[in-house]
Amino acid sequence: MKSEQSDLEPRGELTLRVPASHAATNVFGDVYGGWVSSQAVLAAEMRAGGETAGRVATVSIGGMEFMSPVLVGTILSFYTEIVEAGNSSIRMKVEVWGRCPDGRALRKVTETECVQVAINDDGHIRSYE
């Protein structure tokens, strides 16, 4: 893990807030990265769906490095920021921030970039502009 970065502020639009629960733990009882990653993709899809006024599909997910641990009970906040928008796709940065159950300062957990493509009801790429 990288060192904790508590001196930074979240960037982007708060899109999703969710508590880390026991259901999201690995065999050691720690919240696992795959769950955090799936929530980041969900946040990106929610934002892209709103921007495109319809259905979207995720076509790319960037790598993630975890900077801070996530404990059960941590409230995770997902901030999204549009990096690039085309006729049918949106590249979005997602920052994940966590507030520990004891209420300590907000800490950056990880970040990634996702690309979503607008699709129609048949699953075909559509223009949204």
CATH code assigned at 81: 3.10.129.10
66 part of a folded domain: yes
Tens digit of each residue's pLDDT (9 = 90 or more) over 49-100: 999 999 999 999 999 999 988 999 999 999 999 999 999 999 999 999 999 8
Domains contained in the chain, number:
1
Within-domain flag for 127: no
In a domain, 75, yes or no: yes
pTM here is 0.90
Q: Is residue 41 part of a domain?
A: yes
Strand 89-99 and strand 107-118: pairing?
antiparallel
Residue 92 lies in a domain: yes
Instruction: Determine, yes or no, domain membership for 20.
Output: yes
Q: Is residue 35 part of a domain?
A: yes
pLDDT digits (tens, 9 = 90+) for 30-49: 899 999 999 999 999 999 99
Those residues whose C-beta lies under 8 Å from the C-beta of residue 91, and which sit 6 or more positions away, are 82, 83, 84, 85, 113, 114, 115
